[in-house]
Amino acid sequence: MSEYKELHRPQFHFTARENWLNDPNGLVFYNGLWHLFFQHNIEAPTWGKMWWGHAVSEDLLQWRQQKNALYPDEMGSMFSGSAVVDHHNTAGFGAGALLLFYTAAGMHAEPKAPFKQCLAFSQDGGQHWHKYNENPILDWIEAENRDPKVIWHERSGHWIMALYLDADRFCLLRSKNAKKWAPFQEITLTGDSECPDFFPLRDQDGHERWILAGGSGVYRVGRFDGQVFTPETEMMNFELGRNGYAAQSWSNAPNGRCVQISWMAGGRYPEMPFNQQMSIPVELTLVGSGTDVSLARWPVEELLSLRERSHVIETTTLDAEAPLIAPTKSKLFDLSFTVHKQAAPSLYMVVRGHPLWFDWVTGRLHIEPSGTHKVITDRPFIQLPNTPSLSVRLIIDKTSIEVFIDGGKLSASFCFLPDGYVYPLILHSYSGPQIIENFVVHEMRSIWP
């Protein structure tokens, strides 16, 4: 079997060449390249001691794995963190140097030591990395404090770090030189933990808003002036799926884009040389304004380049005697349609032998786990909007289904293993008719030659 063509290898989602992968780290765009670092156990296809793996891409889809960027050292494993471009040479490594912020996880140090925050830098665009010789830049605060997310706040002229503390508590810190840090605010994201992300977006009125999010996708939208983050919304969640975790956004992205990627946690890849995968990169926007504002997520436009043959059914009526059988034998899809519920109680889909069930009575979408998937978040269903019709988009790879509803206002990530089937994609309506419009299946090509 040729490399990247194994039975359960995703064909347009990033996976490590071999062994274990989890959280995306150090996402930064620089000189035409999207850099993706990731938690990586180079010794086994299971979680363990961590390195930072490294991959680059021109289009967010076709990734080239590079040599590993960070190696475990006497301070411990290399846990999650972030990356920035130091345009103003604040750290003294040169204008345009790339800075990596990471947690040295003392659980793998000898003897065991507290978790501390550290810095590495590159002066050649990410080809070679050097750990700062005066690490740690931030000593232990409490518990297993970790996962520094660093951004530059132009108006105040400071670096801002969001850091996980313990339970569902996070803190914000600031620095002038990316080396010496002072905490200034503590924030709770109820029910979430780890892997903070902190970034600005414009709302529909053109006002700058700031989003603080945790590892499970819980977030709040508010204002930030460099001195204090003031939440203005209730807790919300941008990840409604069972397998989406540790989402991070790219820094220094071009053209004002805000692009995010997640670890699709808990997927199963039996007897494969690799383990775990990333999500499709998504573009983030804010919909609404004031306190009625929320995130929408949509697959990046680059994904359109992978479409091959397309099959279109403009309008059809489903009933018990007339299922919709997609005219394709492909295993890779970009599928979209609008469903008009009528009086039907449910819409039932089977994707490569795996069931999806839209229950219109309870307003829920159920995607059952296949086998004994280990999951980080227990989300048995997606609560759907109570509207007479619904727009749906599904991105389907070898072992994953990503759901985008109502233009991305609802989104969810699921892993699955295919089961036996006659048709790769079929829709049923067993107890009453309903209308399907603009049913479009794009067969997708692999990113691997």
Report yes or no: 405 and 387 within 8 Å, Cβ to Cβ: no
> Distance between CA atoms of 393 and 414, rounded to whole angstroms?
14
> Distance between CA atoms of 447 and 116, rounded to whole angstroms?
38
Q: Which residue has the tokens 């991959």?
A: 55
Strand 19-30 and strand 274-275: the pairing is parallel
Q: Which residue has the tokens 């489903």?
A: 318
Options 23, 86, 147, 203, the catalytic residue:
23
Q: Is the dihedral of CA 158, 164, 168, 171 positive or negative?
A: negative
Q: Output the CA–CA distances (angstroms, integers) from residue 261 to 15, 37, 126, 418, in the order listed.
A: 13, 11, 20, 24
Q: Output the CA–CA distances (angstroms, integers) from residue 171 to 102, 136, 183, 229, in the order listed.
A: 16, 18, 7, 10
Report yes or no: 352 and 418 within 8 Å, Cβ to Cβ: yes
Give me the DSSP letters along 336-361. Answer: EEEEE-TT-SEEEEEETTEEEEEETT
Indicate if 397 belongs to the active site. no
| Radius of gyration, alpha carbons of the chain | 22
Query: Please, how many CA atoms are within 13 Å of residue 131, restricted to the half-sphere of its CB?
Result: 19
- Hey, which residues are catalytic here? 23
